[in-house]
Amino acid sequence: MSLQIDENGRLRHLLDLATLPVTAMDALLRRAQAFADGAQVSDALSGRAVCTLFFEPSTRTRLSFQLAAQRLGAQILNFDASTSSATKGETDLDTFRNLQAMGVRGFVVRHKADGAVAALAQATAPGVAIINAGDGRSHHPSQGLLDMLTLRQAKGEDFSKLKVVIVGDVKHSRVARSDLHALRALGCGEIRVCGPATLLPDDDTLHGCTVTGDFDAALNGVDVAMMLRLQRERMVEGLVASLDDYHRDYGLTAVRLRRAAADAIVMHPGPMNRGIEITDEVADGPQSWVLRQVANGVAVRMAVLEAVLS
């Protein structure tokens, strides 16, 4: 039994997509699509306090969770590590326990350490739910879900003939890992992964994928190009020769995009390094679904909060 599913088979926490049953993933995606279609918003979380507990910066994830919680009637607390007693040495666990003691029932947690969010889930009182908003390089499940919702909207629910390429800094990307788990679970026909060898993981992350360093070849005929942010803040020196070289070899330009299927879509989790992994003309062009991903983030996060807290 995974920590995120309770003894009755219900979603207790959302920690990762690797151990999330495909039925639970599908149910969240269907509920999120209903919210995206304008389903009547209930007061499912009325009177409940939800805290966004972020130990790393965020724009999209934090604010869309806040908006999602507000739309469901919750009270929102926004914890900012840089202005909190964490700066005086208070531990993450003590911080969490204090907020739990105040009556917070939902925690949306981002942390730089792999496994830190699941560790908090081990310390929850009954009725308290943890949602992983990104831990280290490991998991970003709500991003993976919103990416799958976007793919369903663009390409339909049958992924069996879909060709997807994930491009760039896979080594440091929790988004790529969550997308890979979800794409496999939903039966994606072909997953290609492309990047310089220094930015590809050397564990079993890429099992079942076609792996190449040749971006032009990797783009041929794909239905979806998922571009990743070059995570310079997580890198040690020397993984990329220079940003110019990276852009030349792995930057998605309009010319390069012509190698993909004519109706291919381009995705990026944000924030984008414009001019490095993606050009303005692609990011803002007709094949870009980047802002649709962001819009879907609110719907997915409503579905997740409702599932674990109502």
| Min CB(294)–ligand CP separation in Å | 8
| Min CB(110)–ligand CP separation in Å | 8
| Min CB(100)–ligand CP separation in Å | 24
Using alpha carbons, select from 245, 247, 249, 241 the residue that is nearest to residue 215: 249
Closer residue to ligand CP, CB minimum distance, 251 or 269: 269
Cβ-defined contacts of 90-98 (< 8 Å, 24+): 92/55, 92/116, 92/120, 93/119, 93/120, 93/123, 95/53, 96/53, 96/120, 96/123, 97/123
Q: Which residues here bind ligand CP, judged by CB under 6 A?
A: 58-61, 134, 143, 269-271
- Residue 271: count of CB within 10 angstroms of its CB: 11
Enclosing H/E stretch for 22 = helix 22-36
Phi, psi dihedral angles at 180 (to 5 degrees)? -60, -45
| Min CB(300)–ligand CP separation in Å | 12
Closer residue to ligand CP, CB minimum distance, 58 or 198: 58
Q: CA quadruple 81, 135, 131, 71: dihedral positive or negative?
A: positive
Closer residue to ligand CP, CB minimum distance, 112 or 258: 112
Closer residue to ligand CP, CB minimum distance, 15 or 190: 15
Residue with tokens 């081990």: 122
| Min CB(231)–ligand CP separation in Å | 10
Inter-residue contact 25 to 148 (CB < 8 Å): yes
| Min CB(139)–ligand CP separation in Å | 12
Closer residue to ligand CP, CB minimum distance, 127 or 271: 271
Inter-residue contact 52 to 108 (CB < 8 Å): yes
Closer residue to ligand CP, CB minimum distance, 130 or 163: 130
Using alpha carbons, select from 294, 296, 300 the residue that is nearest to residue 28: 300
